[in-house]
Structure 1
Amino acid sequence: MSPGIAIGPVVVLDPQGMRLPPRKIAPEAVPGEVARLEQALAAAAAEGAQAEAEARQRLGPQYAEILAAHAAMIEDPQLRADARARIEQHRISAEHAVIEVLEGHADRLERLSDSHLAARAADVRDIEARIVGQLVGLRPGSFLDDLATPSVVLAHDLTPSDAAQLDPRRVLGFATESGGRASHTAIVAAALEIPAVAGMGAVLVHARSARQAVLDGEEGLVVLDPSPATLARYRAAAEARSARYRTFSEESSLPAVTLDGVEIALWGNIEFVEEATACRKWGAAGIGLYRTEFLYLRSAAAPTEEEQYEAYAEVVRSLQGRPVVIRTLDLGADKLAASVGGLGAESNPALGLRSLRFSLRRPELFRTQLRALLRASALGDLRILLPLVTTLDELRRARDLLGEVAAELRAEGRSLREGLLLGIMVEVPASALMADRFAKEVDFFSIGTNDLIQYTLAVDRTNETVAHLYNAADPAVLRLIAKVVEAAAARGIPCGVCGSMGGELLYTLFLLGLGVRELSMPPHQLPEVRRLIRGIRADHARAVAARALELDTAGEVLDLLKSALKPADAAEPEPTGSEDRDRPAIEATP
């Protein structure tokens, strides 16, 4: 979730219990309970506003917006009305009324089996704790008060309020039983560069008696009470990692050029505005994928044109003239946003109303986003990327809508970027097989390998019974990628890879050998990919790619790629195992 190694004493955070008053109240007590509810909501909203102001000063506007959304939810008239109705109709205390309403919301979010919405359930419970705390007279304390020394923190989850208090000087690293990359704690951990692992499952039952832990954020691993030998290995690995990243920092301005002079553009993938800083830090040539759906996933209401414009403009300005590829809304499947509506439960969501299909179904939302994008394009090299394009008809409808919006803005006297580039994500077999036709109508391709693998192999990688079949090295996947790269080259348009394969060292040689000249990845992966590229020859990569395309099985391909990588990748692997005397190592669930 957030890379790095943390070693230190263990602090386990258990949920703080509250002594609640009796559930039932007398009829004559109803007006008093309603008054208590109103007072608590007002006090909790004020407290939330103060937390937002503190977060804005310490963590910046992006995280402050999360807490601002919390304050807005506390003031939601529907929450007030629902809680009041329970007090009046069921004659229950204000505390229990609030808990009933908000626990109901949280439970419904969790039952949707969607990782992003499960993270939003933590938001609801954070609000619940704030309001109930006001009702029972508890002031919210900081979990940092429990840290006598800098520690590795283990918890079931950290609420957004807890996450806002994270301090790298006192929290060496943290792991949570629930949550994931989309959780707010994950956002803050990445921003503060605190090693972290989320979604580990039942870890607290093992950790309560532990005194020391090693946390490996890259491997998603926690080792409890490590043996002296294991501890020594991880300390050495942590020092080696620090030394390696010091060197990487010095190399960040170097071009990614092979030994025989072929230059590769390395780009960064981001989900949040603040990640643009890391792209600059690690020498990204631009941003190859800005996932805009997180503007919707983290908000109680759909972001306005102005809110989107400000986010896009900030990223474009921060890249200081370097290209910024912004993907239009990619909701649906595993990413549902209550703020936009129209995305109900589907029996097969991966094949349902998602991505560009959803945007075309909801033109009012799509137009708002396109207006914001086109306005921001006047500030720099902004490029628009359409997700999950399946047919030429979809592309043409989206392009026509973009033209209409551009004409509207020009009529309003707005400045737009002339010659703005429009590309598509190639992430389904249909668009890969029709790549030669798509190449005539777009300015660039970006291959989304995650979905391309899923749809090519008919494998849901979140389904543990078939996840082992999800394999980027499968020859069918490699041949589709090769076909797309060939079609782009024939037409003379750029073709990059922005899916997970783009940042995996194992596939760098293969992709370069096919002719891919743009790779986009999470910012922290940029340094090692740059170093690998600077140590290989393009002619060697072409030979490896040609051989890989002749093989019959994924196993054969993996053996070839591992063998070809060994001479170029001299980095020592970091330890992930443990000695017999260690407490059990606990790994994050996939």
Structure 2
Amino acid sequence: MLKLQGIAVSSGVTIGEALVLDSEGFRIPRRFVARSAVDTELQRLSNAIAESTAEIKKNRDAVRGELGEQYAAIFDAHLAMLNDQRLQEELTSAVRERNWWPEYAVSRTLRRYAKVFQNLDNHIAQRAHDIYDIEKSLLRNLLGQRRETLAAISEPVVILAHNLTPSETANLDRRFVKGFATELGGPGSHTAIVAEGLEIPAVVGIGPFLADVSGGEPVILDGNQGVVILQPDEETIARYRLEAEVAETVAASLGQLRDLPAETTDGVRVQIRGNIEFPEEVEQCMRRGSDGIGLYRTEFLYLTSQHEPSEEDHYRAYRKVIDAIDGKPMVVRTLDLGSDKMLTEKSPEEERNPCLGLRSIRLSLRQLPMFRTQLRAILRASAHGDVRVMFPLVSTILELRQARLVLADVMEDLAEHDIDFNPKLKIGIMVETPAAAMMLDAFIEEVDFVSVGTNDLIQYTLAVDRGNKDVADLYSACDPAVIRLLKRSLDIADDAGVSASVCGQMSGSVMYTQLLLGLGLRELSVPAAAIPEIKQAVRSVSIADCQAVAKRVLEMNSARDVKAFLRDQKRRLLAETVA
């Protein structure tokens, strides 16, 4: 049994068979071949070895001509390993005697070899990289055009991968993918956000571990504690199964809150709205008693499609949500692509720092036809319900005014063609940068509402890449600088009589509920799964108590102190709730 610690990004516990993806995205499940097909599969293995041998020789000769014999010797070593008689006999035996699929035989056998090398002295340990290269070469040639994709999964699995992009995560089939864990990733990455939206338990930022596991092996994934357990024993499996059953019981009890208002013990009403990426998620929100949709992340219309969505694609998606929320508000965030939320086509010039580059409202203002298409659909949808539009990553007053001008132009065009829309559509911005927070007193005069996006606000305030596991310890919603910017934003909105909400992972965690209410927040936008728990927390506290919590936090100077204090408050709150 091997216990790995990573970063918990989407709650839940699951137990299942591992499906291992290497850094190139190969699926290597445990699969067996019929005895009648053994000879055919062995021939396929032999062909792959021959093709890999030819590729290595070609690379060796090219390197010899460019760099000389010393560097070509690297490839001679690869050839020696690949054509080692013992290795080939072992692979042949795995297929003939164990009826293993050749791909599985290659992955399982070579990873075992690599692990042995890694446990030897440093010089020999480096040879493990050569074995991984050989494994990838063989897998490429074995899989060929039959290389499988994540979309082809048809049985329950827990995905273990080097990394998953947001688009790959968005396309996971929730019927079969019970959870995932990755070597890379950080707490605020968009892959993590998608996992939370899909309600798939997820752990990221574990570091190198794929060499220690093979497809088909049992694995436990604990998305609450950020733990992954490989080859668990029966006692551990039984303990986690019990934990999963208890969680289901708690979830069922929280479901009784569905039709009750999120109201504090001293009678203050709090709006709790859901975050969604896909129209299908609205049902989960409403089933849990949501007060509407506080954040519709529309970029996933792009990430899950092979083409740029048309006006009708947008309109149908928005109408589907409007028709399901019974007159409650729906806040549509315009395109927020950029960074790791990338377009399907690569930019001809790769950005050196995409987090600070052409993304969100900046991209929309550069791609006006695309922006206008989305705004037309939003406006058309506004004729059928309480639709609001929100612009992401606004950093300057000029960006806001330019976006409003484009919106006004689209309104004029629709009016000329007698197409219905709400001419008093509410307009808001995301407060995600220190610039927006510091200039909010100017912005506030030109918007109807604001939403503080804590995920990006943390990233930009602390200069920490939220998708980078190496600096994950610095990415903290508990940092006093973040909390003070949040307080400033809420105070400015309150003074101006403009509604303010908070979205992001901070709003969906009970640990921060008392702090946020104490800072003056009265609208939260959270993942569907978090709605019952946050509602219970709201109904268990008074505003006076929350203000006392906020006052204590604002006196602290370190994220560590804030985190310890809030964790203690959470334990007390949960203890009182259970009692």
| TM-score past 0.5 threshold | yes
Post-superposition offset of 1:333: 2.3
Matched, 1:430 2:444: no
Q: SS of the residue aligned with 1:290? A: strand
Equivalent residue number for residue 276 of structure 1: 282
Post-superposition offset of 1:550: 1.9
Which string of whole-angstrom CA distances, capped at 9 and with x for unpartnered residues, describes residues 378-425 of structure 1?
A: 111110000011111111111111111011101111110242110000
CA distance in 1, matches of 2:233, 2:291: 43
Tell me, yes or no, if the aligned pair for 1:2 and 1:196 is still in contact at 8 Å. Answer: yes
Distance 1:456 1:166, change over 3 A: closer
CA distance in 1, matches of 2:171, 2:449: 39
Equivalent residue number for residue 406 of structure 1: 411
Equivalent residue number for residue 14 of structure 1: 28
Tell me, yes or no, if the aligned pair for 1:505 and 1:532 is still in contact at 8 Å. Answer: yes
Post-superposition offset of 1:444: 0.4
Distance 1:353 1:11, change over 3 A: closer
Matched, 1:568 2:573: yes
Equivalent residue number for residue 420 of structure 2: 415
Post-superposition offset of 1:142: 7.7
After TM superposition, the score normalised by the length of structure 1 is 0.68
Equivalent residue number for residue 490 of structure 1: 495
Distance 1:476 1:564, change over 3 A: same
Matches within 5 A, 1:31-50: none
The runs of 5 or more residues in structure 1 that have no matched partner are 24-127, 574-590
* Structure with greater Cα Rg: 2
CA distance in 2, matches of 1:304, 1:438: 31
Which string of whole-angstrom CA distances, capped at 9 and with x for unpartnered residues, describes residues 171-229 of structure 1?
A: 58354658988789x77x976x6656678665554334986432324444332343455
2:376 to 371, 384, 395: 371
Which string of whole-angstrom CA distances, capped at 9 and with x for unpartnered residues, describes residues 448-478 of structure 1?
A: 1111111112222333443322221111111
Aligned identity (percent) is 44
Tell me, yes or no, if the aligned pair for 1:426 and 1:445 is still in contact at 8 Å. Answer: yes
CA distance in 1, matches of 2:504, 2:173: 30
CA distance in 1, matches of 2:169, 2:344: 24
Post-superposition offset of 1:153: 7.0
Distance 1:151 1:268, change over 3 A: closer
Equivalent residue number for residue 13 of structure 2: 5
Distance 1:433 1:218, change over 3 A: same
User: What is the aligned length?
Assistant: 459
What amino acid does structure 2 have at the position aligned with 1:6? T
Tell me, yes or no, if the aligned pair for 1:332 and 1:343 is still in contact at 8 Å. Answer: no
CA distance in 2, matches of 1:129, 1:412: 57
Equivalent residue number for residue 226 of structure 1: 232
Equivalent residue number for residue 558 of structure 1: 563
Matches within 5 A, 1:26-425: 132-133=145-146, 173-175=178-180, 203=209, 205-208=211-214, 212-227=218-233, 229-338=235-344, 344-425=349-430
What amino acid does structure 2 have at the position aligned with 1:271? E
CA distance in 2, matches of 1:565, 1:4: 19
Equivalent residue number for residue 507 of structure 1: 512
Distance 1:553 1:480, change over 3 A: same
What amino acid does structure 1 have at the position aligned with 2:519? L
Deviates more, 1:218-227 or 1:259-268: 218-227
Distance 1:300 1:344, change over 3 A: farther
Which string of whole-angstrom CA distances, capped at 9 and with x for unpartnered residues, describes residues 322-357 of structure 1?
A: 111000111222222035x76842222222221111
Distance 1:301 1:568, change over 3 A: same
The runs of 5 or more residues in structure 2 that have no matched partner are 1-8, 21-26, 32-40, 52-140
CA distance in 2, matches of 1:14, 1:324: 42
What amino acid does structure 1 have at the position aligned with 2:288? W
Distance 1:352 1:512, change over 3 A: same
Tell me, yes or no, if the aligned pair for 1:6 and 1:172 is still in contact at 8 Å. Answer: no
Q: SS of the residue aligned with 1:261? A: coil
Post-superposition offset of 1:498: 0.8
Tell me, yes or no, if the aligned pair for 1:173 and 1:215 is still in contact at 8 Å. Answer: no
Tell me, yes or no, if the aligned pair for 1:7 and 1:172 is still in contact at 8 Å. Answer: no
2:549 to 536, 544, 558: 544
Which string of whole-angstrom CA distances, capped at 9 and with x for unpartnered residues, describes residues 74-127 of structure 1?
A: xxxxxxxxxxxxxxxxxxxxxxxxxxxxxxxxxxxxxxxxxxxxxxxxxxxxxx
After TM superposition, the score normalised by the length of structure 2 is 0.70
